[in-house]
Structure 1
Amino acid sequence: MYPRALDLPNLLKKRSYFLFGPRGTGKSTLIDQTLFDAKVYDLLDASQFQRLLLNPTLIAEETDPHTLVVIDEIQKLPVLLDEVHRLIVKRKQTFLLTGSNARKLRRGGVNLLAGRAFEAWLLPLTSHEIPHFDLLTYLNTTGLPEFYGQENAHEYLKAYIGTYLQEEIKAEALTRNLSGFARFLEVVALCNGEEVNYANISSDCGVAVRTVESYFGILDDTLIGFSIPPFLSTIKRKAITRAKYYLFDIGIVSSLARRGRVEFKSELFGRLFEHFIALELRAFIAYRRINLLLQYWRSASHFEVDFIIGNKLALEVKGTNLVNNKHLKGLRALKEEQLIHTYGVVSLDPHDRFTEDGIHIWSWKSFLQKLWSGFFDELIF
């Protein structure tokens, strides 16, 4: 068992929640290991599904107002949300509703409980959750708890992708062109972390631009990918307006892109290292429930900063063990705008430093220790 940063018992003391997260991130395991007294309805269990399909009021009959009720994979039977809504209002009962596919809930006109349930996320493992964390092990396997550190992780991930295509895409009839979507998924992996260019992706995977746009919507709704929008507040330098796009797990990207093993200083290391930091920041914002956007900045004149959290923290990620002036050009260009409070570089540099013009240089270990231990809390909250 990995100690997860998401504290479900504490969240559920106050109200009901939707818990979203891709398949394999450990939602069911976390529920089993932390919500001991909950009544759990698993909709992947055919008998449970059939019972509740025929009679949703069984939930009320089998529980009392003080019982925490968990409905696992709620998107399988969204009609249950009407009964959940009724019990939250009438009984003040608390529910945890999990899902690995938000498409049916967000696009089907279903009852989303009128704000009576907040959203929480469970994402792949972070460095903070893995005892004796090893960066190369993570970059070469996955953040999915069941497969992290496994020598044959690539075989599991290949099967994971096949299951996703069969059970999420084909079975739900999300597209009539499964082979086209599979090609699209491989192209997205190859340009993971880059600005989204629909026309180029359309050309590479052989489907129409409008279809590519709809495919990105499917990735979002099935929780397989996420975009990082551009930071557009700069005045001196015009900002690029396209978003960057990442898949939710490094191992999934490597499997789709058919990558070999990555080592420090190898050609691919920098891209995977940046993806890793993106996933850490995304998880930090989700688990700490921070109401700030994760963005990036690129100017029309090609200055770039990898990540910006609100107007609080601007970060550049460099896979080098000696940060120098050429690595600071993007941060210095953004710093001229005087829009962000703190500027820093996350790198393989073994020692933390602070430049004369006010830019932090953090080793990746030091930065992540600070991030998860609360060092930045006063700045961000």
Structure 2
Amino acid sequence: MFKRIITRTKTKSFFLFGPRSSGKTTWLRHVYPKKSNLWIDLLDPKTDRLLRQKPETLAEMIRIAEGDFEYVVIDEIQKNPVLLDVVHGLIFEKKYKFAITGSSARKLKRGAANLLAGRAFRFECHPMTHVELGTSFDLDDCLAYGSLPEVIELSQKDKQHFLRAYVDTYFKEEVVAEQLVRNLMPFRNFLEVASQSTGKILNMNNIAKVVGVDHTTVQNYFSILDDTMLGFLLLPYSRSIRKRQRAKSKFYYFDTGVQRTLTGLIDAPLNPESPEYGTAFEHYIVLEFKRLISYLKPDWRMSYLMTSDNVEVDLVIERPKMKTVLIEIKSTDNILSLNRQKLSGYKKLAEDFKNSESYVISRDQTSLMEGEIKFIHWSRIFKTVGLIK
């Protein structure tokens, strides 16, 4: 098993949210083994049926459990959100500690759940980072097939089979089964259109026309993907929170392999000279920052920047009490081949943006400085900005 860097507490109850197959259950089984913890598995039909009929049975199951246990582990809580009312009482009255996994905070909010009113911490689980994969990491493989734990050690053909099954059974069926959407066909169309919009500034009206639904429905679809951690919106940078919320966002799926499957390109080779490779590389870097910030620096904030004269910065990282980081992402393995004229706007912005550090990251191992901009290999940026040690 790969060593995960998922955050946890040893003294409080907590939620662990993450997409299906991101490794939540595997991690919990390793950290909270059944010999010293009480497991309540809602994927077991008998247990699920019993607790749906009588949620209060949970308290009795815990009471009669033999031996001492450190945590009560409840897997996939979104299958029965009403249980959280029982859990809340047990934390408050009996002082039990719970480790609770889920893949749909949206269903919990709608289903009953007060999310334990601050009595439980919230942590996240994502696909594998390059840090966790260590010597098993392969950039081109992660760009093409993503880094869901179950994908990593499969053959190329099996990776493709797994990802198609994942998209068909989870994205297109279970989201409907969990009653997050009622009409499957427009949602399926939306998933494909959203995959083609990865890393682009969203035009909700255009997407609504293509999908055949109204603007509000498209906004709701994006909200579903965000709440189920299947994707996220990258907001535009602004010092004004109000302006940040009103301006157009970018969208990224949670995994590059899933995104390529939704576009129908999972069989297609990813040529380093192609525009598709550049898109996948930018997508992957954004995801790595998203994941590592979630685990290690949750107070940092990510955004992108588009200036009034159309200079775009792929990532802006705001770090409390530290300089803001500007990052332009290039997939080239030869930074000397970059068109300096196209970078002139970024160079000017780097000079004018107060209290900031500016970078161009790429696959080139060469490091150099041009004006206020540092050119470095992508793998070094995370340590350089203080995200990892």
Count of residues in Structure 1 that have an aligned counterpart in Structure 2: 368
- Structure 1: give runs of 5+ residues left out of the alignment: none
Shift in CA distance, 167/178, structure 1 to aligned 2, threshold 3 Å = closer
TM-score scaled to structure 2, two decimals? Answer: 0.88
Alignment of 1:1-381 (within 5 A): 1-7=1-7, 11-36=8-33, 37-53=36-52, 54=54, 55-62=57-64, 67-132=70-135, 133-148=137-152, 150-152=155-157, 153-165=159-171, 167-233=173-239, 241-259=247-265, 260-310=268-318, 312-323=324-335, 324=338, 325-326=340-341, 328-355=343-370, 357-368=371-382, 370=383, 376-377=386-387
TM-score scaled to structure 1, two decimals? Answer: 0.90
Contact persistence 2:14–2:100 (CA under 8 A) = yes
Q: Displacement of 1:34 after TM fit?
A: 1.8
Partners of 2:375 and 2:68 lie apart in 1 by: 53
Name the SS for the 1:130 alignment partner.
helix
Contact persistence 2:303–2:315 (CA under 8 A) = yes
Contact persistence 1:297–1:306 (CA under 8 A) = yes
Shift in CA distance, 314/62, structure 1 to aligned 2, threshold 3 Å = farther
Identity %: 36
Contact persistence 1:228–1:296 (CA under 8 A) = yes
Counterpart residue identity of residue 380, structure 2: S
Counterpart residue identity of residue 51, structure 1: L
Counterpart residue identity of residue 95, structure 1: F
Q: Displacement of 1:203 after TM fit?
A: 1.7
Partners of 2:92 and 2:348 lie apart in 1 by: 53
Q: Displacement of 1:294 after TM fit?
A: 0.8
Contact persistence 1:68–1:94 (CA under 8 A) = yes
Partners of 2:172 and 2:333 lie apart in 1 by: 43
Counterpart residue identity of residue 30, structure 1: W
Higher helix share: 2
Q: Displacement of 1:239 after TM fit?
A: 12
Q: Which moved more, 1:41-50 or 1:278-287?
A: 41-50
Q: Displacement of 1:224 after TM fit?
A: 0.9
Contact persistence 2:333–2:362 (CA under 8 A) = yes
Contact persistence 2:59–2:90 (CA under 8 A) = no
Shift in CA distance, 111/59, structure 1 to aligned 2, threshold 3 Å = farther
- Structure 2: give runs of 5+ residues left out of the alignment: none
Name the SS for the 2:15 alignment partner.
strand
Counterpart residue identity of residue 146, structure 1: E
Partners of 1:352 and 1:94 lie apart in 2 by: 49
Counterpart residue identity of residue 107, structure 1: R
Contact persistence 2:293–2:387 (CA under 8 A) = no
Partners of 1:263 and 1:67 lie apart in 2 by: 50
Shift in CA distance, 224/96, structure 1 to aligned 2, threshold 3 Å = same
Counterpart residue identity of residue 45, structure 2: A
Contact persistence 2:37–2:69 (CA under 8 A) = no
Superposed CA offset, 1:254-303 (max 9, x none) = 01111211121222111000000011000111111421211110123210
Q: Displacement of 1:50 after TM fit?
A: 2.5
User: RMSD of the TM alignment (CA)?
Assistant: 2.4
Name the SS for the 1:223 alignment partner.
coil
